[in-house]
Structure 1
Amino acid sequence: MCPSPTVAHPPHTTTNKPNNTPTNRTTGLLHFTNTDLTAGADAARGVGALRFSDEDGTSYSRGTAFNPRGVSHAYFGNGHDVPADAEVPLAAVRQAIAELLTTGGTRPTGFEWTEAEA
């Protein structure tokens, strides 16, 4: 059974047909129970990075290149570092988000994941 999503800000909730998945009109954010997918993007370079967390732990996308400057994305004004090899093409980031939404919060497939260091 797929986890039930909860809406980030219920006062603005709408229901999208045909799957009746609640979404937030203002932010578009969905929260799945025990699941979190964070995506960062560098549009100028055409790459992004993903962090997925669930009850089994946290993992990062693994790309084919290593960024020697490191990778950090801003999240609500705070920098969040991700592994230097976490960057993947933006098309893969978009696909991962779509897959998360259509599978009810399961970890997206289509590329490798690296377990976060403890």
Structure 2
Amino acid sequence: MEVLDVQFQSERGRVRALLVSADDVDSFIDVLLDGRHDRNCAVVYSLDRPTLPSGYRDHELAVGVDRVTQVGALTLSVDEGYVSKGSVDRGIREYMLLGHVREFMPGSEIPVGLVRQAVKEFLGNGGRVPTCIEWQKEEF
């Protein structure tokens, strides 16, 4: 069964939720978009991927969205670090992840619709790298 474990900060504190459908993904992205600007990023883990001997996950997908500009950015750590590749470079972008700044490298923002699509693909393909967007190596 395909399941994503998401963690983010909401108005009520730290939230942990399980996503099992495309509708769940849409609701999750909507919550990030509706939240305050200091609570606009989440980490996502596929429960379909194995854990390391240490018990930690072998990957991490960070999802940031900006409700004003309707763009977002993704990073995916699987063996190496990757970041979404956008067509506009607005410099280093900062999103807030669980009360901490999460920087995304320049040129990483994509339309929110593509963020949604990539997270849905991540859910549906068992946590493999989504192919619906372009990726670039993360420099930091």
TM-score by length of 1: 0.71
Residue 103 of structure 1 is matched in structure 2 by 125
The 1-side partners of 2:104 and 2:93 are apart by 6
Structure 2 CA distance for partners of 1:102 and 1:86, relative to 1, 3 Å:
same
Residue 85 of structure 1 is matched in structure 2 by 107
Structure 2 CA distance for partners of 1:63 and 1:35, relative to 1, 3 Å:
same
Paired letter, 2:137? E
Paired letter, 1:47? V
- Deviation of residue 30 (structure 1)? 4.6
Q: Does the aligned pair in 2 maintain the 1:35–1:106 contact within 8 Å?
A: no
The 2-side partners of 1:74 and 1:100 are apart by 22
The 2-side partners of 1:13 and 1:77 are apart by 18
1:62 aligns with 2:81: no
- Deviation of residue 112 (structure 1)? 1.5
Instruction: Answer with 1 or 2: which has the greater Rg.
Output: 1
Residue 63 of structure 2 is matched in structure 1 by 39
Paired letter, 1:98? K
Structure 1 alignment gaps of length 5 or more: 18-28
Q: Secondary structure at the match of 1:117?
A: coil
Residue 72 of structure 1 is matched in structure 2 by 94
Q: Give CA-to-partner distance per residue, 1:13-63, whole Å, 9 cap, x none.
A: 98969xxxxxxxxxxx65443232111000110100000111x21100010
- Deviation of residue 84 (structure 1)? 1.4
Tell me how many residue pairs correspond in the alignment. Answer: 101
Q: Secondary structure at the match of 1:38?
A: strand
Greater helix percent: which structure? 2
Taking only aligned residues, the RMSD between alpha carbons, in angstroms, comes to 3.1
TM-score by length of 2: 0.61
Residue 114 of structure 1 is matched in structure 2 by 136
Structure 2 CA distance for partners of 1:8 and 1:97, relative to 1, 3 Å:
closer
